[in-house]
Structure 1
Amino acid sequence: MPEFTIGESDFLLDGRPFRILSGGLHYFRVHPGLWADRIDKARRMGLNTIETYVPWNAHAPEPGTFDLSGGLDLGRFLELIADAGMYAIVRPGPYICAEWDNGGLPAWLFRDPEVGIRRFEPRYLAAVREYLAQVLRVVVPHQADRGGPVLLVQVENEYGAFGSDPRYLKALAEYTREAGITVPLTTVDQPVPEMLAAGGLDGLHRTASFGSGAEARLAVLRAHQPAGPLMCGEFWNGWFDHWGAHHHTTSAADAAAELDALLAAGASVNLYMFHGGTNFGLTSGANDKGVYQPLVTSYDYDAPLDEAGHPTPKYHAFREVIARYHPVPGTVPPPAGPAPALAAALGEPVRLLDDPDRWGTWQAHHELPVLDDLSPMPRLALLRTRVDGDRPGVLTFGEVRDRATVFFDGAPVGTLLREHHERALALPAARGELLVLVEDQGRVDYGPRIGEAKGIVGGASLHGEPLTGWEVLPIDLAALPGLRPSATSAVRPGEPVAGPVLLRAEVGVDEPADLFLDTGEWGKGLVWLNGFLLGRYWRRGPQRTLYVPAPVVRAGANDLVVLELDVLLDPVARFVPRPLLGHTEA
């Protein structure tokens, strides 16, 4: 069997120097029907390795579960990498960041307020040990020394930016080894002395994360690791987007020059990202460094291979650089052609406030619970109570996480946004039914706010007095595509529609193909095609189109379902030839 080891100055494959030319490609952000295509395009750019994180919360949405089906079939993904003649790097965390909801940590972990996240704490470590045993059971047979593609397994992720607990890192390394991992173990940290010191551990090979200044940053890494191969474990060649900002892009020429400097220094590299993919469903995370910033659905990342799997100028520039140091395949993928342009009228409205009982099951609570107190934990919930006062007043919440739309006797009163630090509004009457639709827009994925509760935190009050006697309806999003109007109703062509409302269209397609759904005239909500949740849209941008992967599309009639939470200006589903990811700084 092949032997992969860490030498004095190089990685060694069967005793010979081997440079890792890797690209980030997250199986959980790509439809499984497209995995082989994306892997092949990495090979054709000149890469020899594919790197992926593993999202704990996707595989284990509830305690005691571990899903390896469909788009979470890590074993099949590794098999496809091997079939392409490539190698793999696996990064199981348990924390991954990755701009992924909660940084990959399951929300159910935090139901125990005493659990100690990302440190040496028995309850957390017990859960981590079980998780690593589950995921590494899949990885073990695919290791290089067993004839598989996996060369390296990473322990934690940029831990030096979060904490300094060597006992914790040592425990993770021990759990990884006891699960059967025999290939070398690595860490990654920004090349700052304090971070490299706090995030590393003797016996684990340190790598660095950066996007520029290769010579200086590799020198810092070398100072903390006098021997062994130099590696940029994350070469940042693009960036991510959040709602309300611009679409981030970087110069292909500048990124290629930085890659050239890195390879000229003899270092190995992992491009973050080679292909970003999509935050399908409700998987995008958020940042909060004083202002809450939820991430968009697209994870295009301005990567060499765009969200729909097409080569960009950066792809060709990187391939040219790699060719100066290593052989590259003789052919490149063709450029993108236009996607089908289609349109279909939306109709069959099902309005939430007309009959909420069809959207879930009410639960009684004396005091207002957070979403995390509910099981299963919803991403969207309707809250209801009765107000019997003697005068209009101000409704105040402890904190809104992350968006709350208030109705009084069925009429909209206003919407509160976490990012604006809003938590109060005026109620127009003294008596009536108070309804609040609260939405989790994505859990923070980086920093000390990981794991915080969602929903209305700290309860609600009127005239300064607590409101009690609540009913809570967790909305079953998985069931929504099956909802049909209980009575005949229609949407007039061209007439705006107020949410919360479910709408439907039948989209005719000649043959399966990638599609780009233009949501520019819609408000805020979710879209399903043939039961597959494409993700979130929001008029504020920058992202305007939702990517629809070809394997989701079928020849003939396709069922499109839209959940509009705000106001939809044009009740038509329009598909356009190319993605529209928003304005840039340039």
Structure 2
Amino acid sequence: MNMYLKNTLTALLIGAALLNQKEVKAQVKHTFDLGETQFLLDGKPFQMISGEMHYPRVPREAWRARMKMAKAMGLNTIGTYVFWNLHEPEKGKFDFKGDNDIAEFVMIAQQEGLWVILRPSPYVCAEWEFGGYPYWLQNEKGLTVRSKDTQYLAEYKKYILEVGKQLAPLQINHGGNILMVQIENEYGSFSDDKDYLKINENLFKEAGFDGLLYTCDPAADLAKGHLPGLLPAVNGLDDPAKVKKLINDNHGGKGPYYIAEWYPAWFDWWGTKHHTVPLAQYSGHLDSVLSAGISINMYMFHGGTTRGFMNGANFNDKNPFEPQISSYDYDAPLDEAGNATAKFMTFRKVIEKHLAPGVKLPAVPIAKPTISIDDINLTQAALVLANLPVANTNLRPLTFENLHQDYGFVLYRTNVTGGKTGILKLSQLRDYAVIMINGKTIGTLDRRLKQDSIKITLPAGKVRLDILVENMGRINFGKYLLQNTKGITEAVTFNKLELLNWQMYRLPYKTLTPIKFSKSVATVSSPILRAGTFNLSKVADTYLDMRKWGKGVIWVNGHNIGKYWSIGPQQTLYMPAEWLKKGINKVVVLELLKPKITSLSALDKPILDLLQ
């Protein structure tokens, strides 16, 4: 037998053996049940020590490494939402591939010895665009999310059935590692319709989720959001006695007891200080909860990054519009890049106290290497106004949804008779606008600051008015979920007279292929895209330093790595090593406010706490 045939046969035999091992492993089924006071795994008491980690906030290439970090801190379970707007970005078009391969995420957890708590409710909140709902639901006339509306339930059913195809076979009672599945999410903070919750339960069962189902709500809203018959879990409460009483009161006087979201940290939004929570304030709470036999899910164990245009926003009657930043570092035990923090090490010591005799945690992986990069010269440029697609025309401005556009930007254009000074008003602007006259930026409007008007002077003659509007993130929590259209949502007036006859250009920037770059541009007084390359002899994590820039979005090697804004607190954008390569790397910057800047650099550590 020649060496080639011998090697081929050996490879086939090894492959067959590995396949047989997987089949045997897949047939091993466990049981997971509710005891009087504890969860029962194969009939024995089991305490979940879980941490939340979201697959789209971590590069797929790094999923396994993050799982290993979870094991090293002492976690035995991972919690994750499932994001409807990722998996059905357009009606009827489902995507569970690549970075959206949630089934692979769950299976990697199993390979790393971790159980999973699955949270596939159509609404997730999660500081995520529209709370996870796809934008196109707003185009279904009369459809109302989180309701018994028949149109909503029809779309919901299609979606959850697709999720079931991916994930129901991975439940523990089918040989997988999914312990429990959550229906809805903090519904008690929104409403109290038990019939609606029952419909949720039935849809989940129809999708194949035939194991343990549960609900979760903040303590004050638990009674409203709990569906009798399912396990109620509580969010944001860690007093053992209060947790047990609350669950007992809503679950027939018994447990088990589960804190579905325990917050050892918090998230950030633009223009406010970086949120940190002292670890000393929470290590004792963790110890007391585990000592009481209560299961727990840390929200977040690892936040990661909200890349692209997927950040959400908060808004209510008391607070202004608050779009969240791209970093989801969260001051979590595992930082944005996946490295252990002091909080990680302290929590690990607490968890070690509660391990079974003889059980030892794996060593903590060392921090990943980082690099800094000297000035990257952006030698190519393209004006936004010179790279427009075919226009949509209408008498009045159309919203993003009217234009069938999900995220990014829309340019609104009309002509005005000049020679006047007056007030330009955009009623219900959502959310940020760059105002240009004859191709030159003359001001901005910011929904956060409740700005909808600007005084302008028009030169004589026919004047071209351009308004570049950015969707800064749809609201992800509260009653204003139902008022989430984007763009210019009402009339535009100048000196109280409505401006008509608009051209609208869709700029979702999902791909930059149509952009025509050149080495020079005639004028630099409006939003611009700048491109350049940098050469790496070694690959490691790095942080693009945007302190001298204004506001915009960055792509590196085709990956949209997030938004920046000089107001802070985030001043750097995390660039994972997994998306860099030795040799030439390409970067593109979309800059709205400071178009004359032509270089940037990268640091070996993040800046997440600087307001400017």
Residue in 2 that maps onto 1:510: 537
Q: Are 1:198 and 2:224 an aligned pair?
A: yes
Q: Give the whole-Å Cα distance in 2 for the aligned partners of 1:47 and 1:285.
A: 28
Farther off after superposition, 548-557 or 507-516 = 507-516
The one-letter amino acid of 1:381's match is V
SS at match of 1:372: coil
1:53–1:412 CA distance, 2 compared to 1 (3 A)? same
Is residue 39 of structure 1 aligned with residue 62 of structure 2? no
2:177 paired with 1:149: yes
Indicate conservation of the 8 Å contact 1:537/1:544, yes or no: yes
The CA distance in 2 between the partners of 1:542 and 1:416, in whole Å, is 20
- 1:378–1:79 Cα change, 3 Å: closer
Q: Name which of 311, 323, 334 aligns with 1:294.
A: 323
Correspondence 1:120 to 2:152: no
Query: 418, 428, 450: which is aligned to 1:421?
Result: 450
Alpha-carbon distance change, 211 to 503 in structure 1, aligned in 2, over 3 angstroms: farther
Aligned 1:503-582 pairs, distance under 5 A: 503-567=530-594, 570-582=597-609
- Scaled by the length of structure 2, the TM-score of the pair is 0.91
Range moving further from structure 2, 462-471 or 58-67: 462-471
Give secondary structure in 1 for the equivalent of 2:511. helix
Superposition deviation, residue 333 in structure 1: 1.8
Compare 450-459 and 474-483 and name the one that shifted more. 474-483
Correspondence for 2:133: 105
Which of residues 486, 491, 497 is equivalent to 1:459?
491
Find the residue that maps to 1:250 and give its secondary structure: coil
Measured after TM superposition, the shift of residue 422 of structure 1 is: 1.2
Q: Quote how far apart the aligned CAs of 1:568 are.
A: 5.2
For the residues of structure 1 that align with 2:237 and 2:249, how far apart are their CA atoms? Answer: 19
Residue 8 of structure 1 pairs with residue 36 of structure 2: yes
Deviation larger for 324-333 or 337-346: 337-346
1:296-315 pair list within 5 angstroms? 296-315=325-344
Query: What's the offset of the Cα at 1:220?
Result: 2.4
Q: Which aligned pairs between 1:479-490 and structure 2 lie closer than 5 A?
A: 479-480=511-512, 483-486=515-518, 488-489=519-520
1:264-275 alignment to 2 at 5 Å?
264-275=291-302
Contact (CA 8 Å) 1:215, 1:262: kept in 2 or not? no
> Is residue 233 from structure 1 mapped to residue 264 from structure 2 by the alignment?
no
Deviation readout 1:290-335 (Å, 9 max, x if unpaired) = 3001100000011110000000011011111111111441411213
1:434 is matched with 465
SS of corresponding position for 1:483: coil
Of 475-484 and 16-25, deviating more is: 475-484
What does the per-residue CA deviation read over 1:247-299, in whole Å, with 9 as the maximum and x for residues that have no partner? Answer: 11111121111111111221000010110010011111111123001100000
Give the direction of change, closer, same or farther, for the CA distance of 1:545–1:14 in structure 2 (3 Å limit). same
Match of 1:69 in 2: 97
TM-score, normalization: structure 1?
0.95
Picking from 24, 27, 38, the partner of 2:52 is 24
Once the two structures are overlaid, the 10-residue window that deviates more, 431-440 or 233-242, is 431-440
CA separation of 1:438 and 1:369: change in aligned 2, threshold 3 A: same
Q: 1:77-226 maps to which residues of 2 (within 5 A)?
A: 77-192=105-220, 195-210=221-236, 212-225=238-251, 226=253
Shift of 1:211: 5.3
Report % sequence identity.
Answer: 36
Deviation at 1:410, TM superposition (A): 1.9
Residue equivalent to 1:254:
281
Shift of 1:558: 0.1
Greater mean alpha carbon deviation, residues 269-278 or residues 110-119: 110-119
CA distance in 1, matches of 2:497, 2:526: 30
Q: Hey, what's the Cα distance between the residues in 1 that align with 2:61 and 2:575?
A: 13
Q: Which segment drifts farther, 466-475 or 451-460?
A: 451-460
**Counterpart contact for 2:333–2:342, Cα < 8 Å:** yes
The structure-2 alpha-carbon separation of the partners of 1:101 and 1:328, relative to structure 1 and needing over 3 Å to count, comes to farther
- Provide the residue aligned with 2:87 in structure 1: 59
Shift of 1:197: 1.4
Alpha-carbon deviation of 1:498? 4.7
> Kindly tell me: are residues 298 and 211 of structure 1, through their superposed partners in 2, closer, same or farther at Cα, counting changes over 3 Å?
farther
Post-superposition offset of 1:79:
0.9
Q: Secondary structure at the match of 2:276?
A: coil
- State the number of aligned residues: 574
Shift of 1:87: 0.6
User: Structure 1: which amino acid aligns with 2:234?
Assistant: A
CA distance in structure 1 between the aligned counterparts of 2:504 and 2:407, rounded to whole angstroms: 11
> Quick check: 324-333 or 99-108, which moved more?
324-333
CA distance in 1, matches of 2:480, 2:499: 27
Looking at structure 1, the residues matched to 222 and 444 of structure 2 have their Cα atoms a distance apart, in angstroms, of 44
1:170 to partner: Cα distance: 0.4
The alignment status of 1:412 with 2:438, answered yes or no, reads no
Judged with a 3 Å threshold, the aligned counterparts in structure 2 of structure 1 residues 74 and 434 are, in CA distance, closer, same or farther, namely same
Check conservation: 1:44, 1:328, Cα contact below 8 A.
no
- Which residues of structure 1 form unaligned runs of 5+? none
The one of 509, 512, 519 aligned to 1:477:
509
Q: 1:383 aligns with which of 387, 391, 412?
A: 412
Structure 2 CA distance for aligned equivalents of residues 26 and 548 of structure 1? 18
SS, match of residue 510 in structure 2: helix
Stretch moving more, 344-353 or 277-286: 344-353
CA contact (8 A) 1:120 1:165 kept: no
CA shift in 2, pair 1:482/1:257, >3 Å? farther
**Which SS does the other structure have where 2:554 is aligned?**
strand
Provide the residue aligned with 1:399 in structure 2. Answer: 428
1:212, distance to aligned residue in structure 2 (A): 4.5
- Mapped to 1, the partners of 2:373 and 2:140 lie a distance apart of 50
Q: Matches of 2:55 and 2:84 in 1, distance apart?
A: 13
Q: How far apart in 1 are the matches of 2:237 and 2:267? A: 14
Distance 2:540 2:78 in 1: 26
Residue 389 of structure 2 is aligned to residue 360 of structure 1: yes
The answer to whether the Cα contact below 8 Å between 1:360 and 1:476 also exists between their aligned partners in 2 is no
Amino acid across the alignment from 1:437 = L
Contact 1:322/1:328 (<8 A) preserved: no
Answer with 374-383 or 234-243: which moved more.
Answer: 374-383
Q: Which moved more, 1:207-216 or 1:31-40?
A: 207-216
Per-residue deviation, 1:152: 0.3
Task: Find the aligned partners of 1:365 and 1:570 in 2 and give their Cα distance.
Answer: 35
The answer on whether the counterparts of 1:214 and 1:258 sit within 8 Å (CA) in structure 2 is no
Q: CA deviation at 1:223?
A: 2.3
Q: What is the CA-CA distance between 1:565 and the residue it aligns to?
A: 0.7
Quick one: distance in 2 between partners of 1:104 and 1:316?
32
Q: Which amino acid aligns with 2:314?
A: N
Residues 120 and 168, structure 1, Cα contact 8 Å, conserved in 2: yes
Which moved further from structure 2: 139-148 or 521-530? Answer: 139-148
Cα separation, 2, equivalents of 1:45 and 1:581: 24
Q: 2: CA distance between counterparts of 1:467 and 1:58?
A: 36
Please name the residue that 2:20 is paired with: none
- The answer as to whether partners of 1:522 and 1:569 remain within 8 angstroms in 2 is no
